[in-house]
Structure 1
């Protein structure tokens, strides 16, 4: 019986494990895993603009900084940022966008709206008042 013990038992165990794994993947109740924030596309943070209204983009200010970033904007398309600061553990307690004269305080856990219209294409860096030590990026097409 040594042949059975050394060869057949491991093969049976492997077959049983494969059957269990494949059965778990075929249930109707299973659903795909939710993507992490880093895996979610940046479009998820933006709502399409209705004609005549600015495009609304939700931004969170977390311990990781301004999220999501980068975000693509269109030159000449009005934008309304809705920023919510969720941490006190960084210096990002405001948003500074020098090119548009924006320097707006972000109180903890309160959404703040900031509106502007990008006038130039390229990389637009925004961030905290400490020299944008914590920053985010808009790519303007």
Structure 2
């Protein structure tokens, strides 16, 4: 496995995070997250962040930011794909995409602000609650 020891990131607030990156393993996990989240019809962040933290050793704050970055890029690719395929013919789809994009950009800013002010353990507990909620939702949907 490709392993890049000693990755270092300093955020805008001056906090420095040190961790190692297992690139190939991370790519494999991300492919799996993409498949599972698409299969289940859910957002991938609730699966992606715990994997980055527990399986790859990312600091929680770095994992949440990385997950947001990946998901934002995937959403952009999906939107461009729909535009190219003509899915937005008639105008209503593009208006929905613009409204959704504005909400996502605003929500991401609020989320990033909150993340900087929240302890890692709280973020992990909230993710655990989200996973339990997701499991219950899927269980109810199946039954």
The answer to whether the superposition gives a TM-score over 0.5 is: no
More helix by share: 2
More strand by share: 1
* TM-score under structure 1 length normalisation: 0.26
Of structures 1 and 2, the one with the larger relative CO (CA 8 A, separation 6+) is 1
